[in-house]
Structure 1
Amino acid sequence: MWALDNPDGRHKVTQSFIDEWNAENPDIQVKFEAIPADQYMGEKLSAAMMSGTGPDIFFLSRGDFLKFVESGLVHPLDEWFTEERRQDFLPLVLEAVTYQGKIMTYPMEMDPVALFYDKQVFAENNLQPPQTWDELVDIAVKLTTKDRYGIYLAP
């Protein structure tokens, strides 16, 4: 099992589940490896998966999900998603990890999404909050300077 190294302590919880699994399943042991961010996607995970030497379980961001699924590097998990287990998830959460009718990954987290803007900066630049994606892009370009990003989207 590979994951992006994360300093927030999340892996302590992951490791506790792995320890419990390993204690209950001596014939099927999980080895966990947290890989530094600057190596995870390109140097380690993508290369290992393409060469057939990747881990059985790995963490992906939503942005990389389709690349791996469409390349055939992810096995559908439907057989483990009983009707009872499906009830633990909001329908939209399961939809987000479903591809061509198959559940392709276990949803690990769900983030709230919000867009904040600086009213003063908008007023100084005679701008109104965007109503469409195209307007958002145009405003982001207009507000970008050598000292400021016009928009920041956390990955």
Structure 2
Amino acid sequence: MSLFTNEIEWTNPPRRFTIPHFTPYKRDEDPDRHLKHYRSTMILYKNNDALICKIFATNLQGEAQDWFHTLPPQSIRSFNELSFVFTKEYSSNRSIKMTSDHLFSIVKDPWETIHDYVKRFKAEKAKIVGCNEDITTVAFRNGLPTEHPLFGKLIMEKN
């Protein structure tokens, strides 16, 4: 017996439908990111909830595919429901969303060159979606030792 309701199970794909190429979900990735990728790939079929449900199973791999088949029969009535149980199951794999405040934890090590500090700081900043530029500037300056020439220059430019 299918884990989908009869309404979903009995829905046929549109004529000439071909399954788009997906990056399969392997269980150790961020489920939110995977759902975002899946939804954007299936955007042309967003009004066909049954199709979206049925195709989702084809882009799971390994243990994620095994988990999918453990769902109770006729327990999935919509893609929103399927998305919920999927993200609930794999919530421990979610990426931790960092804020601009994270940058205050980045401090130039005494042995580190300014070039390496800038490179490391930029790499961390790139991980933050919608990073606040004012906080970035202050965090960068605060990560420098007060005796570093660049620190003094940044203080002077501020005024």
Q: TM class by shorter-chain length?
A: under 0.3
Higher strand share: 1
Higher helix share: 2
Q: Which has the higher contact order (CA 8 A, sep 6+)?
A: 2
